[in-house]
Amino acid sequence: MNRATIEWDRHFAALADEIIGKRQAGEEILCSLSAEQSDFIRFNAAKVRQIGSVQQGHLTLRLISGERHAYSTLTVSGSMAQDLADVAQTLLTLRASLLDTGADPHLLFDQSSWQRTTFRTGRVPQAEALVRTVGECAKGLDFVGFYAGGTIIEGFASSTGSRGWYQVSNFNFSWSLYDANGRAIKTSYAGDDWDDAVFARKVDEAARRLEYFTQTPKVLTRGSYRTYFAPAAMQELIGLIGYEGFSAREHATARSPLYKLNSGTQNFDPRISLSEDLDLGLTPAFNEDGYLRESVSLIEQGRGIGQLTSARSAREYGLRPNGANAAEMTTSLSMTGGALPEAEVLAALGTGLYVGNLWYLNVSDRTQCRLTGMTRFATFWVEDGQIRSPVDAMRFDDSLYRLLGSEVEHLTDTPELLLEDSTWGQRRTGGMKLPGMVVRSFELTL
């Protein structure tokens, strides 16, 4: 990779033109670029433990001939001569592989011509400035966190004339404040408009809640408890079903954990509405099959009304593709808020559990949409609208049909933006916008 900053938009445009120009009779070529220019910082005890910057790009070439197709992914160097040489060799390899490739009966890709561009610069902190800010705001605290921020890029070009570009600058910073006994308060701050004052306020709020850890933890027995789920906890609940729950393929094969909801035999509370909302701008408006992505209403007033349909599922099951990715996972999920102000959450909860985070979630009963997992950091026992003591980690096992159905009492009025925080291989686009929720009962098993 060149040390100089790559002008990714110009480089990809020129590279795509050259690639498409190498198309032979009877072929179609799809090109996808994933790139980033990111800073990563790991903190421990409010001090830097690791710091670095990454500039990388990966180009996926997909060669299609009739109903045969093959693809390959290569690293982009930033040098046009080197990248073109790599592309030429890759195309030769793909053409050779097509000779031994059978027809794919479910192959489908968009053959129209379109143009889409998203270019959002944002305001992301410089690494040096962020280190100083953390040192000032977390002085005297056992602050452990991970910051990732910079520019994320997705590009697309096809021999049918389509061109897509998505380039945004954003950040995602999650951290925990620990007490002497190893208990912690976890907090996050994400977006595309960094504000030192907002960060300082979040650190201060978490630090003040550390004081509750001086109280003896409340011991809970298995059973049902009135509970408030903060947006970060909701992200774990909703995110788990987002993997398969809204997939047209999983619904067609009756494997979706939300099959009963999607088939109309089970409903959520009428206040529950979710959509794959492209207007949030969290993900590209196009996919790897060349389709423009659509916003899709998935649940409306508690009723399942839509699924995410990829090109392959569309052809296999006779459906219309709506731009979903190959995995048919949600990437820009938005949930409608309710009427409860954030400042009144504890009063509305009264006596019960305040759950800040959940972890280790899995599906325990697919047919009943039962989920199991553990409470995590910042789980408190609340009495008469006041936090009284911390609660050690507990396992739960409950049905989402209950939690988002009969047990819903309140939804907060201001949904929170929660960006995708995966950095496996590279930073990812996407995220969710979710409210907090008060439920009448939540099943703890041990």
pLDDT in tens, 53-110: 999 999 999 999 999 999 999 999 999 999 999 999 999 999 999 999 999 999 999 9
What pLDDT does 122 receive?
Answer: 87
> E strands of 5-123, at which residues?
28-44, 47-65, 68-75, 115-120
Average pLDDT over residues 151-167: 97
pLDDT exceeds 60 at position 129: yes
Helix (H, G, I), strand (E, B) or coil at 405: helix
> What architecture is the 8-211 domain classified under in CATH?
2-Layer Sandwich (3.30)
Q: From CA 339, how far away is CA 271, in angstroms rounded?
A: 10
What pLDDT does 326 receive?
Answer: 95
What separation in angstroms does the CA of 379 have from each of 184, 244, 251? 10, 28, 35
Answer yes or no: pTM beyond 0.85.
yes
Average pLDDT over residues 258-266: 94
Q: From CA 241, how far away is CA 259, in angstroms rounded?
A: 11
Q: From CA 334, how far away is CA 314, in angstroms rounded?
A: 24
Domain boundaries, the chain: 8-211, 215-444
Average pLDDT over residues 302-331: 97
What pLDDT does 4 receive?
Answer: 59
Q: Are the C-beta atoms of 249 and 310 separated by less than 8 Å?
A: yes
Mean confidence (pLDDT) of the chain: 95
pLDDT exceeds 80 at position 140: yes
Q: How many CB atoms lie within 10 A of CB 108?
A: 18
pLDDT exceeds 80 at position 399: yes
Average pLDDT over residues 179-206: 94
Extract the tokens encoding 221. 């027995």
What separation in angstroms does the CA of 422 have from each of 75, 122, 147, 301, 426? 20, 20, 11, 31, 8
pLDDT cut 70: percent of the chain above it: 99
Burial of 32 (0-12, 13-18, 19+ CB in 10 A): buried
pLDDT band of residue 376 (cuts 50, 70, 90) is: confident
What pLDDT does 246 receive?
Answer: 97
Extract the tokens encoding 438. 């008060």
pLDDT exceeds 90 at position 446: no
> E strands of 179-289, at which residues?
184-191, 223-229, 274-276
pLDDT tens-digit readout, 326-359: 999 999 999 999 999 999 999 999 999 999 999 9
pLDDT exceeds 80 at position 2: no
Which residue carries 């027995």 as its tokens? 221
pLDDT cut 90: percent of the chain above it: 93
What pLDDT does 441 receive?
Answer: 97
What pLDDT does 323 receive?
Answer: 96
pLDDT exceeds 50 at position 292: yes
